Structure 1
């Protein structure tokens, strides 16, 4: 049995094919203009699902990277403050040793005492170092300074932490009580005692052992800060590598191969022009088309 093909059948078939060709060209042009293979979920539901998951992971990773950068800045500030305080305290130790020289007159001892007071003020300033308006030695306290004029410690026992991965948090502040001591047992009170001894003509070297003990405490805290800072830097490197890998994975899913798309679009244009030419020959107008 021979199937009957009418003029209307050919017309509908041709128009459907032309429409499909135009739809493909529109999709390719959309890809070229956006540079993406997936512009809406219907373009590729599976790829769209993967992209949503990867972008979610990327946002989390980006936040961890911000936390790590902030942690690094905190720890760098703490490290600098303790290092400067150590240098000042070593200077005070040298002054104590010099003050033990029995040949010095009271005028010289008073001058050494003035230097000790300057060192104390410098260390107190370092102890009240802030980062973005928060004291780096006062824990979670909202006090403006870690140590007041009476050397009382205003900090809390709770440290400031930053989460740098799903399983890792890092303390980013310094323990002011451990670094500088508190109250009458603080390094500031110790230097006041040294100054008083110098002005009274006493034996300044009697304070050297206490100064050495405080130096050891500072060195211990500095080592802890250095270890945490190293951990943060390693996390930053890992997060940076993870960001590059994730960006490459996202690009592999959604970015187009420009040369391939251009070639395909040109092929579709040639096919479309050819289809239009063929349709013009097959679908010739009839007298009835003119009479309508």
Structure 2
């Protein structure tokens, strides 16, 4: 086959264009730090990067959810700590009020005033909020546990959960991992209601100066509710520990996903720079050889 001058020229121009294109790709990789900058560069790498990116975003959302979990648990623990302090003081007042014969009218007035304040403090704790959500109201987070009509109808602690539960008695869960939900609310509505009734009984007894009120029973009820508060706080502590373990797990998964994404799409700068220098040298050599291949034209002779 006869090789013509036009064939040599066309081949040279095609090879030069390919060399320019390769150097352009390498230069773009150095500018962006990525192996691919558009899906057409390598669809497989792009799809893998999208998958790793979705994993990183999902982990970030779960970490935000864990922050919400910790807010609920910390606020619940602080509120129950306040309930414990109220109960301890109420027990002291109930013990003093039981000595009806030794109390003066002034003593009764002081106990009545303080019991009223303790009861109001308990009601405030029952309406503790995280952001705009009431944390002791079950799934009825937009409604206070203690409202204008007092506490809602709640089942006793000995009644097993049924499908007829009110929203105040249902659990609030937040997803912290694929298929893993953590309960964030503390079922304390019945306890708040029972304590409020005990306080009301002591307050009414002191107010009416009656001697037939069962103070020993009230003190016993306060002690039982103190135990319930401790049990609830222990449960909160256990859930906080689990939330911390989930946070560690999410951090590990986030690190693994970011590492895989980096290995999949990030360039090795040393390798790309070496390839660019090599391509540039080859391109210069091709230009030099091409200048020798192309025949001189009439213009060259005129110069």
Query: SS at the partner of 2:168?
Result: coil
Aligned residues: 285
Kept in 2: contact 1:85–1:126 (CA 8 A): yes
Kept in 2: contact 1:82–1:218 (CA 8 A): yes
* C-alpha RMSD over aligned residues: 2.3
Name the residue aligned to 1:79. Answer: 77
Q: Distance in 1 between matches of 2:17 and 2:191?
A: 77
Tell me by how many angstroms 1:288 deviates. Answer: 8.4
Worse-superposed segment, 43-52 or 22-31: 43-52
Kept in 2: contact 1:146–1:176 (CA 8 A): no
Q: Distance in 1 between matches of 2:176 and 2:89?
A: 38
Name the residue aligned to 1:159. Answer: 171
Name the residue aligned to 2:204. Answer: 196
Query: SS at the partner of 1:195?
Result: helix
Kept in 1: contact 2:73–2:184 (CA 8 A): yes
Tell me by how many angstroms 1:211 deviates. Answer: 0.6
Q: Distance in 1 between matches of 2:88 and 2:169?
A: 28
- Equivalent of 1:173, from 177, 185, 208? 185
Q: TM-score, normalised by structure 2?
A: 0.85
How is 1:1-292 mapped onto 2 (pairs within 5 angstroms)?
A: 3-101=1-99, 103-153=102-152, 155-181=167-193, 186-199=194-207, 200=209, 202=211, 204-287=215-298
Tell me by how many angstroms 1:10 deviates. Answer: 1.5
Kept in 2: contact 1:109–1:201 (CA 8 A): no
In structure 1, stretches of 5+ residues that fail to align are: none
Query: SS at the partner of 1:156?
Result: helix
Query: SS at the partner of 1:25?
Result: helix
Q: TM-score, normalised by structure 1?
A: 0.88
Query: SS at the partner of 2:30?
Result: helix
Worse-superposed segment, 137-146 or 239-248: 137-146
Q: Distance in 2 between matches of 1:63 and 1:157?
A: 28
Kept in 2: contact 1:74–1:172 (CA 8 A): yes
**Which structure's relative contact order is higher, taking Cα pairs within 8 Å and 6+ residues apart?**
2
Q: Which 4+ residue blocks in structure 1 deviate beyond 6 angstroms?
A: 288-291
Query: Deviation string for 1:46-86 (max 9, x for gaps)?
Result: 22222222223333323222222212211221121111111
Query: Deviation string for 1:231-263 (max 9, x for gaps)?
Result: 222111211111111011100110111222222
Worse-superposed segment, 112-121 or 250-259: 112-121
Query: SS at the partner of 1:78?
Result: helix
Kept in 2: contact 1:160–1:171 (CA 8 A): yes
Query: SS at the partner of 1:256?
Result: coil
